[in-house]
Every structure is written in structure tokens, then in C-alpha cells.
Amino acid sequence: MEKKKTFTTRSKEETLRYGERLGENIHRPVTVLMYGDLGAGKTTFTQGLAKGLGITRVITSPTFTIMKMYRGRVPLVHIDAYRLEGVSQDLGFEEYLEEPDGVTVVEWPMFIEEYLPENALEITVTADEEGTRTWSVNAKGEAEEHLLKEWLG
């Protein structure tokens, strides 16, 4: 089974649709690690994912709150670790990474590497000057490989 896939989006609507399709295919707990520059589309993708999970609340970046929780068909925990670089104290969200009850999305996961689970869906997005985004997805774990296949074929 393939562990890596790549796709491109050329609009916010396409990014939302890919996220929504992922959310629709999630039926068990999973951690999604989102890598990419500021403004690359990580939160937009997460908004689509939330819609696919049946979440109707508005999803915004938790940059200043660090973590937000949403209820849907599958619960969503959205963590933005951008401001956590070098923080070594117990922040209380480790349980959402070690044994998630639903979906845990982490933006800027490189700043909390010591807390990241071994199994996860890693998504890296890069944007070019024309606004096209290239999304590289790496499935780390057997269940994540199955999810990748269901989502992107």
C-alpha cells in the first residue's frame, strides 16, 4: 500500500473540498500534522476537514489560544503550535496527541516534536507565486495508510 500521495489545489474552494473529503473518510481517531508557511492554506484545509466531520461551527486558527475543540460526528481538536517553540512546560494537550478521541490537527508540529505520536497523517503544503498549492501527504501507520487510500485513492 502507498504511504505517500501528492495533489494540487488552485483555489480556496478546492482546498476546502480536499479537506472535506478527508473528513468524510475519517471513522477512527487520527492525528493530522500540518506543515507549511504562513498563509499556505493549513487552516482552510482544516475548515474543510471539519465540515466533512459534520462540524457546523466556524473554524478559525487557534494561533492565540493554542487549542480549540469542536463537536461533530467525530470530535476535532485543532492545535496551532506556532507560538510554542522552545516552551518546555506541560501544556495539557499531550493527551489529545497520545490517544486522540477523534481528530487532532496540529499546525506547526515541528515546535512540539517531543509530543507527537508515532502514527499520524503528515501533510505538507507549499504555495507557488500563482497561488497553486502542492500538498504532500505521508501516512505513518497502518490505519493512516488505509485512510490515505480511502481519501485519495
pLDDT in tens, 67-98: 899 999 999 999 998 877 656 556 666 666 76
Task: Kindly report, residue by residue over 29-68, the tens digit of the pLDDT.
Answer: 999 999 999 989 999 999 999 999 999 999 988 777 788 9
Class of domain 4-152: alpha beta
CA 68/CA 80 separation, integer angstroms = 9
pLDDT of 91 reads 63
Read off the pLDDT band of 24 (50, 70, 90).
very high
- For the residues of 40-106, what is the DSSP string, one character each? SSHHHHHHHHHHHTT--SPP---TTTSEEEE-SSS-EEEEE-GGGTT--S--S-HHHHHS-SSEEEE
Sequence ranges of the domains in the chain = 4-152
pTM beyond 0.75: the answer is yes
Helix (H) or strand (E) segment spanning residue 152? helix 142-152
What are the grid coordinates assigned to 46, written together? 482544516
Contacts of 77 (CB under 8 A, 6+ apart): 67, 68, 69, 70, 93, 96, 100, 102, 103, 104, 105
Q: What is the mean pLDDT of residues 116-144?
A: 95
CA 56 to each of CA 23, 32, 43, 59, 76: distance values in angstroms, whole numbers, following the listed order: 13, 20, 15, 9, 12
Residue 7 has pLDDT above 90, yes or no: yes
More confident residue, 138 or 63: 138
Q: What is the amino acid identity at position 91? A: L
Asked if 29 contacts 73 with a C-beta cutoff of 8 angstroms, the reply is: no
